[in-house]
Every structure is written in structure tokens, then in C-alpha cells.
Amino acid sequence: MNYYTQRFFSICPKTKARVEYRLTIESQNVIMVEDIQQAVADFETGDYHESIADELHEKFGGTQTLDAHHHGTDIRTTRP
């Protein structure tokens, strides 16, 4: 099993606050680090947490956990 963890920031589309994310991907496949970095950079302008999780899972598959800290609330979304 391969484990990839990437931290990134995105802007909340509603409040325009900067949100910190932590993506963890568990996969049998090899995923290029540059592909992960480019994918998360595409969210710099902001989207909702659950939508980001859906798009990343569609792109990379595997088992994914997306954690965020947003206005004092911690959010965790998992995709099988």
C-alpha cells in the first residue's frame, strides 16, 4: 500500500476565508507527487470541502481522507 499526504490551502467560496486542508491517499497504485500537487493547486480559488473530496477521489481513486480546519471547526471527509 502507498500513502500520500499533501497539505494545501483554499479559499472558502462563501466567506472567502483561507482554509487549511490535509489530504491523505491510500492506494495500491503509484501516484506522481507532481500530479497531486497540481490537482490541489486547482482548488486555490475555492470550492466546498465535499466537492473537493469528490473531485480528488475521482482523479486518484484509492481510499482518501480530507481534513480541513475552517473557522474553528474541524471537518473530515472520507472516500472509500
Does residue 51 sit in helix, strand or coil?
helix
Q: Quick one: which of 39, 38, 31 has its CA closest to 2? A: 31
2-79: in CATH 3.30.1130.10: yes
Q: 19: helix, coil or strand? A: strand
Q: What are 43's three cell numbers?
A: 482548488
Query: From first to last of its 80 residues, what are the pLDDT tens digits of the chain?
Result: 999 999 999 998 888 999 999 999 999 999 999 999 999 998 888 788 999 999 999 999 999 999 999 888 999 999 99
Burial 9-29 (b: 16+ CB within 10 A, else e): ebebeeeeeebebebebeeee
